[in-house]
Structure 1
């Protein structure tokens, strides 16, 4: 070999070595595109929108800090081989190149008008709904995990009057007036631990959409709100799993690609309370069972002892994803939720054997969904689902040698068909058909004397709807207007429901919003007696019969204005809502109307106000709501209006979150004025067990005040395994808040006041791993 060839070979090897070293160096400097996008969203105050599978696993070198936004997007485009489409000053859509459906995907994405609403992972869309991305969600005061139904209570206008996720009140409505959907399936149970923990595992729930008004016509029911939870619907082609525990439950999830076209998602969660006693469990027990047959001697008898309690809950969800072709998708999913409580009751007479009281609550849901992309303009979806709910209790009365069995059962079968036509970049049309058959039965069985009661109601509803979405060419105006018509077979009645959502950009910083809707629903929850179902879950589902339980109808409207500039958000919204066809039994009266069944309505008028300022690592917000909520029952209070049982006039929240490196902190203060109650009259008839009352709801409980604290810390264990540690304290200063008051008479005929108290100081810790 000549010297020239040797010299050339040495130079070539040297150059290749340097190139290899540089490539290795660059590889080490690369990070996940998702992490880079998060940094850029904060830097440029924009929002990146994409499908998960589009960026999954893509690595890139972080762009230089001195680049402008266009220069940054050009750099990322070269690095990732993806398209970055700038829609406006706030939104950038990411899609794969040469994707025949990229136009459809771009049109399908909804416009986000406010990013990082309150905190990261929460945004507000142009149609008025609030969107929560659970994967991007950071931290809220008092929460160390993204508990879905606890998290939405940070939004203005949403509270729980008794701290339970099974009793969420949206702008003065009762919980049964919320339409809660899990992957499009209506859910009749929302809480574990009888309302203190959300029943939906958040780690496979991709997003939650909350609509308080102006909802799409594709949603029926829910005269108060819609809470729409969606699991991941895309094939990521990457294995992902995680597990964790806190002082109440342990859980695990896995996303398992089976091949290029199929994926299996599984999550499971179970309480640890029947194995380990923790301070959190002690507080939950005191809160849930304080006014039940299990722990209240006024309800049971001083001669009876309750012990040997065993409580647990679990939920399991599974989703199977199959992309038949690039244009055809098939999905199957199911969810099962269970709460179980047993305890022994024994007479103080030792010779008497103990008897076991039981309470079981469970919800099952399953469905098939088929999605078809006909072209880049037209798509159709078809879904068939079935959901069931069962609440069963066995209650022994040892003194009277009596056993009471109660059962509330719901079966719901539904079909949904929807078509979407993207006429052009500015107009989109939706149309569809929905059928539902709901069967609800209630039974009671008493053995001494033998009394059996069974009622079953069936309601079948057919619905058709149409809707148009318009976005102006300059994207300053968004409008959605639709009409839904429901036909209820049983009553041979039609209900026509118009819906409206308009958002107009007045300037670069101000946006005007107008929302309106009419709705109806045929299901509701009532309370026959406060100690039904052991007094723990005493609400039972019922169907409208067009007699003593009418169809509930609502009409509501709202107008709001939002200022958003330099990470400062100031938002104000005025609203009015009228709901008619409610029954007094659905309202939980514990006064002179407790056993009365009357039909009436309520009207709510109020405002929601929010100011939110964000810095690089710090976010703080203050929200305030004022509302006046009044009942009108022709047969109650001489037909005069009086305050609603959940009429909370003033609600305020102040919260701050702070992040530094891998540590996140959150502190929040919740305050609201007291709910109304009815005091007894000064003159009582001691010869009867009945209590004489004053005018209903003329007095109010003391103000509610709670301070919450939480912290999480992220750990990187290996290149593929991350972990997090969390700690929180609910009601940091252990304030004794009274959340409900009612009266009863003792054996001597004396009137006794009973106060239900909120959770005391409640600590919790968690540990999670993800790989």
Structure 2
């Protein structure tokens, strides 16, 4: 016992912040290690690190993706504060870093217990071919295993059998409820404003909650606190401009990034009044400021605002958008204790306007959150890293408000607003049990309180309202308490191979109600009620990880099995949009999803890229649907393949390509038809019992570096979407044959054939 105490006293901590020397940005996930002792750590989301070491002389090795490795000699006689600025690596140095570094450099650590996580930087997404030249992080995410596109051109995605609403999308900690522009063809995230992307498909850390399937955590750039920079691009349909620089050099900085499409300008150029009076565009704006208040405090203020506008002449208009804001305070209490306090705002709304003579109607819907979070990271020792926090979210939902002019034939209809408190507390620990074995464990406790004012219903098995109870303003209708345990372990077989396993329970209290085959900005968010219970999932995973060819290649294989409770689906013929008692239109049951994912990635050399393959199954079982038997979920796909390649020919030219294949989506087609008053009526039997045709597509891209000087750089980016012109089915509609009324024709509608694009990018 005395010996152990003496050894503990002989240790001290070195801590600080890792940042880029070029622009002052803090570096996320930077590796800080002492090779001689085979110990190390990584910097957190704000660049902070803390490492416990024996007192004495050591050589610290600090590294991160895209920067040169830095070695520092220290003589540790007591706790030491050491902030580190890393220089940008040139092309030759960067290749050397990737080959020589530990697996942490690639975003995947063999020793870490974290499973089911994919990390992306903007450099990795830069050369991937894209639709209409608009670089899109969500389209890149869809090329990874276990993450499936929601459809042709869509920025929506499904993860490990989950629906599109079961993904928690965060932008600087603020939830984004609809992450798409132009009906899903582009995402809300301007790549010029983004610093780092983490996707958690399983084994989510305890600090994340509120969704069943995944977390997409996106961090915005902080802004350059060394020099002023202006960058941007001009493409076929959009333009972007990014401005950043110091407010006070080394102390504070700002970032402003804007984007707008100009499809509407092409429409207005038409001489056809049926075209030039239409509206179709989106815009968004990202802004951020950060202030270093001293050696222990840093303040961030960031925000996003985006809007889409779609109009047909003067008769129809649809506009929707998101707004977020985050005020964040980092404080270093000591060399081992780091704090992050955040106040977060999020808003999503849409408005539909119909103008048809005397019948003028407006439809409005909104979800708005206020969220406060407090989190502590305690680097207890070289073996334990503790993370704990609390957060509280106040949700306000306006499901639908229909207002009309006095002369209109429509009656005003305002669905009841819904209010709720979503509270959580969590704690987790990462325990380095031995040099080969690591364990992480934690729990998240949630309490979801449904609040008045409003009417709440009881219904029978047929969906009929049997009783109505009124609650006053602020009165608690019901509170759901849930515990969400999380556990994961990793065992490193040797220097290049490890095994991992994890278990995670997630709870979701917000639900997206839709009976369409693809996501729509008018889909309705509803909270849990006395009838709609929280969705619960339990997922177990097992993984095998191997570094090959002197760390040039990575092989990842993960298998998972997930069960889901209280899954929500709609009744046949449901009206989910103009119904105050939405519960009468819904059915509830269970689900299951299982699969195996492969990823082979090449990280270094002139040719880089990856091959991903997912084999999976997703099913639901709900009384009242498919005779109570298991049926395919809408997002079920058996096979999903993506091949991505990038080749740097020389300093001027970089070429890229990706090929995608996936099994056709599960869909409900009519099983027969009959006539009523000479009108054909289709009838349906098995839910999602048919398949769309298989989907495949090849995209090509090329980047030409025009200029690359210290103060100015520019490039041209070319891409060809759907290079061999396959007409993939977007929808299939049914109609009576013109030649034989007794026959029914299936008509395939394709969106894109060949879509070429070119864009000009610059920075000075």
TM-score by length of 1: 0.77
Match of 2:656 in 1: 666
- CA distance 1:356–1:682, change in 2 (3 Å): closer
Task: Tell me how far apart the structure 1 counterparts of residues 17 and 331 of structure 2 sit (CA, whole Å).
Answer: 20
Match of 1:23 in 2: none
Matched, 1:222 2:211: yes
Match of 2:684 in 1: 693
- Cα RMSD for the two superposed structures: 3.8
Q: Report the alpha carbon displacement of residue 448 of structure 1 after superposing the two structures with TM.
A: 1.6
Match of 2:544 in 1: 561
Matched, 1:269 2:227: no
**Residue by residue, what CA displacement relative to the aligned partner does 1:423-479 show, whole Å, maximum 9, x if unpaired?**
1122110111000011111222464242423221111011110000123553x3333
Match of 1:200 in 2: 189
Matched, 1:443 2:401: yes
Task: Tell me how far apart the structure 2 counterparts of residues 737 and 122 of structure 1 sit (CA, whole Å).
Answer: 35
Counterpart secondary structure, 1:458: strand
User: Does the CA-based 8 Å contact 2:20-2:85 persist in structure 1?
Assistant: no
User: Does the CA-based 8 Å contact 2:225-2:248 persist in structure 1?
Assistant: no
Task: Tell me how far apart the structure 2 counterparts of residues 623 and 87 of structure 1 sit (CA, whole Å).
Answer: 31
Matched, 1:140 2:128: yes
Task: Tell me how far apart the structure 1 counterparts of residues 609 and 601 of structure 2 sit (CA, whole Å).
Answer: 6
Task: Tell me how far apart the structure 2 counterparts of residues 385 and 736 of structure 1 sit (CA, whole Å).
Answer: 43
1:316 to 285, 290, 294: 285
Q: List gaps (5 residues or longer) in structure 2.
A: 1-15, 26-34, 37-57, 87-96, 451-477, 576-582
Counterpart secondary structure, 1:488: strand
**Which aligned pairs between 1:415-426 and structure 2 lie closer than 5 A?**
415-426=372-383
Match of 1:21 in 2: none
Task: Tell me how far apart the structure 1 counterparts of residues 71 and 241 of structure 2 sit (CA, whole Å).
Answer: 31
**Which aligned pairs between 1:26-425 and structure 2 lie closer than 5 A?**
51-54=18-21, 56=23, 85-86=60-61, 94=70, 100-102=80-82, 123-125=107-109, 126=112, 127-128=114-115, 129-135=117-123, 137-142=125-130, 146-233=135-222, 236-260=225-249, 261-276=251-266, 308-344=277-313, 355-396=314-355, 402-425=359-382
**Which aligned pairs between 1:492-571 and structure 2 lie closer than 5 A?**
492-527=479-514, 537-547=521-531, 549-566=532-549, 567-571=552-556
Q: Report the alpha carbon displacement of residue 395 of structure 1 after superposing the two structures with TM.
A: 2.9
User: Does the CA-based 8 Å contact 2:63-2:105 persist in structure 1?
Assistant: no
Task: Tell me how far apart the structure 1 counterparts of residues 624 and 98 of structure 2 sit (CA, whole Å).
Answer: 48
Counterpart secondary structure, 2:346: strand
Number of residues paired by the alignment?
Answer: 651
- CA distance 1:757–1:145, change in 2 (3 Å): closer
Task: Tell me how far apart the structure 2 counterparts of residues 136 and 624 of structure 1 sit (CA, whole Å).
Answer: 19
- CA distance 1:682–1:187, change in 2 (3 Å): closer
User: Does the CA-based 8 Å contact 1:691-1:744 persist in structure 2?
Assistant: no
Match of 2:453 in 1: none
Counterpart secondary structure, 2:415: strand
User: Does the CA-based 8 Å contact 1:654-1:670 persist in structure 2?
Assistant: yes
Q: Report the alpha carbon displacement of residue 717 of structure 1 after superposing the two structures with TM.
A: 4.8
Task: Tell me how far apart the structure 1 counterparts of residues 137 and 353 of structure 2 sit (CA, whole Å).
Answer: 31
Counterpart secondary structure, 1:765: strand
Q: List gaps (5 residues or longer) in structure 1.
A: 1-48, 59-68, 71-82, 107-113, 283-303, 345-354
Match of 2:726 in 1: 735
**Which aligned pairs between 1:462-477 and structure 2 lie closer than 5 A?**
462-472=423-433, 474=435, 476-477=436-437
Counterpart secondary structure, 2:416: strand
User: Does the CA-based 8 Å contact 1:121-1:136 persist in structure 2?
Assistant: no
Match of 2:636 in 1: 647
Task: Tell me how far apart the structure 1 counterparts of residues 308 and 755 of structure 2 sit (CA, whole Å).
Answer: 21
Match of 1:25 in 2: none
User: Does the CA-based 8 Å contact 1:723-1:768 persist in structure 2?
Assistant: yes
Counterpart secondary structure, 1:638: helix
User: Does the CA-based 8 Å contact 1:85-1:92 persist in structure 2?
Assistant: no
More helix as a share of residues: 1
**Which aligned pairs between 1:683-722 and structure 2 lie closer than 5 A?**
684-687=674-677, 690-722=681-713
More strand as a share of residues: 2
User: Does the CA-based 8 Å contact 2:316-2:355 persist in structure 1?
Assistant: yes
